[in-house]
Amino acid sequence: MVFSGLVFLFIFLPSVLLVYYLVPFKRKNAVLAMFSLVFYAWGEPVYVLLMLYSVVLNYASALIMESSPNKKQVLVFNVVTNLLILGFFKYCGFLTGIVRDITGADIPELKVALPIGISFYTFQALSYVIDVYRGKVKPQRNIVDFAAYIAMFPQLIAGPIVRYSDISAQLRKRRISLEGFGRGSMRFTFGLAKKVLLANVLGETVEMLGTGDLTVLGAWIAAVCFTLQIYFDFSGYSDMAIGLGRMLGFRIGENFDHPYISSSVTEFWRRWHISLGSWFREYVYIPLGGNRVSAAKHIRNIMIVWFLTGLWHGAAWNFIVWGLYYGLLLLFEKYVLSHIKLPKAVALPLTMLFVIIGWVIFSANDMASAFSSIGAMFGAGAAGLTDKLSVLALIESWKLIIVGALFATPLPAMLCKKLTDNEAGKAAVMIYAMALLVLCTAFMSAQSYNPFMYFRF
């Protein structure tokens, strides 16, 4: 089930909200946990078993750790088990492929389906156990409340990665109000619009161009459209998750802060997928020593974090290269560009250029195809400057690219905030949101292209 689907919007969500609002507070977490498992089971019921196991494993580990004389041993056990499960389902095929390629051994191809959202809920669970170990939070004694945290459907499938310390108080006590519901539903609607009206439509242009023989123009249009598509897809989903959380009384942290207005790659990663970046910083980078070590160790720490960031995104070489690409860029900014202050008019487009190239690597089927696409962007190996297909793509997408670029800036949000200073403005924004919802519903009914890109993590 996807948020941008008619089943979710008109059957599942109303059912959840109706039951959730009707039951007394002490039952709300149980309702949330139950509906979250139904949501997860909708696509493939059997993978709920793994989700339930994750709940039991991490719930039990935290309680055992509390009473154990050797807390570190329990932590190691838990982290290793969580990572082995994630590794098995996500990386088994990739690793056996590498061993096959290197050794030539006749190892059978292991086809293991990837349970949806496993990267997200595993990282959430790890943050919980590590925070219990550090004494930052007390173990959750109520398994239903804990299940509600791990399985919470708003962010279960594609984040944001919610740390237990940010939500533990809200599990016990949270304010559920009409105002929160209203704000949450507006946020959800705007996220839905980003996904259905922008991301999906941009994606059709990317699909149309494909990855075959691209012209220079075609390569750039595909790259720019994908850059916008992935932003609206992922940030749209995060908006929906945050909006749903608000409707249920939860305040979930922001996951995107207009990353495409960044003047440096460092700034970009403070604005893009904030929950993942802060997870790696908190649980990998800082424990390794962060930047409070020698330059050589700092470089090592950055490259480890970015290798893992790339690997987290997918079991393929292009994701690893993408991660390392950003690691190198960040090091370059830190050690080479730190004394140079580029004007914003240069820094912003330069940063966007690096980001767009990064997305070309990210979206490629393999490294050969990535290099081919990047080469085509700069004329090397391109099938000419333009062709019928790329000109058609430009004609069909230029308006959407401009609208997308505008909505990637803070301007629409600033305008919305200014409008809601008075009652008439609030009414106007509400009507706008309702119109968007109607339009999205129409699009969803007609659209056949509706992938959620971050679902593959």
Partner 1 sequence: MKKTIAAEILLVLLLVPVIYILTGRDEVRDIDADAVVSACEPYVTQDRFSGERAYEMSVKRNFGLNMNDYPAFVYYGNERAMDVNEFLWVDAGNEKGAKEVLASLEKRKSDQITAFTGYGPDQVAMLEKAQVFNCGRYAFYICSPYSGEWYDVIKKLVY
- With b for 16 or more beta-carbon neighbours within 10 A and e for fewer, the 433-454 pattern comes to beebbeebeebbeeeeeeebbb
78-117 mask for partner 1 (x: CB under 8 A)? ---x---x--xx---------------------xxx-x--
3 state SS of 256? coil
In sequence order, the 6+-apart residues with CB closer than 8 A to the CB of 332 are none
Radius of gyration of the chain (CA): 23
Q: Are 415 and 428 in contact (CB under 8 A)?
A: no
Q: Of 258, 273, 298, 313, which one is the catalytic site residue?
A: 313
Candidate ranges 56-64, 131-139, 219-227, 263-271; the one touching partner 1 (CB under 8 A) = 56-64
Q: Are 288 and 298 in contact (CB under 8 A)?
A: no
Candidate ranges 65-73, 139-147, 283-291, 358-366; the one touching partner 1 (CB under 8 A) = 65-73
Between residues 77 and 181, which has the closer beta carbon with respect to partner 1?
Answer: 77
User: Which sign, positive or negative, has the C-alpha torsion 416, 419, 422, 428?
Assistant: negative
Q: With CB under 8 A, what is the number of residues at the site for partner 1?
A: 33
As measured in angstroms, the least distance from the Cβ of 57 to partner 1 is: 6
47 binds partner 1 (CB under 8 A): yes
Q: Are 19 and 35 in contact (CB under 8 A)?
A: yes
Q: Are 11 and 131 in contact (CB under 8 A)?
A: no
144 binds partner 1 (CB under 8 A): no
- With b for 16 or more beta-carbon neighbours within 10 A and e for fewer, the 174-187 pattern comes to beeeeebbeebbbb
As measured in angstroms, the least distance from the Cβ of 168 to partner 1 is: 23
Structure tokens belonging to residue 95: 């690793």
Between CA 274 and CA 211 the distance in angstroms is 30
191-230 mask for partner 1 (x: CB under 8 A)? ----------------x--x-x------------------
294 binds partner 1 (CB under 8 A): no
As measured in angstroms, the least distance from the Cβ of 391 to partner 1 is: 14
DSSP H helical ranges for 152-253: 153-156, 164-172, 178-193, 200-209, 216-247
56 binds partner 1 (CB under 8 A): yes
Between CA 423 and CA 330 the distance in angstroms is 45
Instruction: Give the closest residue to 284 by CA, choosing from 262, 312, 320.
Output: 312
User: Which sign, positive or negative, has the C-alpha torsion 146, 147, 153, 156?
Assistant: positive
Amino acid at 64: I
As measured in angstroms, the least distance from the Cβ of 88 to partner 1 is: 7
Biggest CA pair distance of the chain: 71
Reply yes or no on whether 298 is catalytic: no
Instruction: Give the Å distances, CA to CA, from 381 to 183, 207, 218, 355, 384.
Output: 50, 20, 13, 22, 8
User: Given candidates 11, 49, 346, 402, which one binds partner 1 under the rule CB under 8 A?
Assistant: 49
As measured in angstroms, the least distance from the Cβ of 350 to partner 1 is: 33
As measured in angstroms, the least distance from the Cβ of 241 to partner 1 is: 22
247-276 mask for partner 1 (x: CB under 8 A)? ------------------------------
As measured in angstroms, the least distance from the Cβ of 411 to partner 1 is: 33
25 binds partner 1 (CB under 8 A): no
442 binds partner 1 (CB under 8 A): no
Candidate ranges 47-55, 279-287, 291-299, 365-373; the one touching partner 1 (CB under 8 A) = 47-55
Site for partner 1 in 352-391 (CB under 8 A): 388-389
Active site residues: 313
* Sites of contact with partner 1 (CB under 8 A): 44, 46-47, 49-50, 53, 56-57, 60-61, 64, 68-70, 73-74, 77, 81, 85, 88-89, 111-113, 115, 207, 210, 212, 388-389, 448-449, 451
